[in-house]
Copies of this chain bind each other. A is one copy, B any other.
């Protein structure tokens, strides 16, 4: 495989492989087949092979992939050989939880600033940081070279938070607020919407209940609903 451009779908799976590979090293495995990595990452082996082929030819036929080496290559591809400074805007329940979340640091994402607009919260300590004034965002983002902004405000406040991050030069934004944000083309935006995930589950759950009641022939009551194959 030569030439650039890794498909989006592949990029989205690389972190999954990376996590699976870390798990494998912890179990002392030095080499892994596409099949083995597929199982550990919860995908199928054809996908693993095709995905990894976009990075280069890092496997050995008849053997598999060297775990350490593959970790290195994926980290390099994802830009994880350096640490990234993040800032969280909106220190409510979720912002606080994100500020305290250990998983970020482990993966090389340093939360280096917390912002809120509420004078009650400014100055308050959360973990190792103090909440700072949203008005100082631009200055602090530049001083601390924040590269990634995490928006954990209400839906109403999210666009303003976003605009300020963009004005400060932040090019990557992760949005937890349940609203659509506008950013210039030069900025990457991803979103996580908690209640949308539940609504999607609701769709499939509802369909299951409907199907059960057709098959069972009678209305479903809570006590009648049993788990099939535990």
Contacts and interface: CB of A to CB of B under 8 A. Distances in A.
A214 interface: no
A186 B104 contact: no
A228 B184 contact: yes
Given A190-B200, A197-B174, A166 B227 contact: yes
A230 B167 contact: yes
Interface residues of A, number: 77
A14 interface: yes
A178 B103 contact: yes
A93 B97 contact: yes
A192 interface: yes
Contacts of A227: 166-171, 184, 186-187
Interface of A: 11-12, 14-16, 18-20, 40-42, 77-80, 84, 86, 93-94, 96-98, 100-101, 103-104, 106-107, 109, 142, 145, 147-148, 163, 166-174, 178-180, 184-188, 190, 192-208, 222-223, 225-230
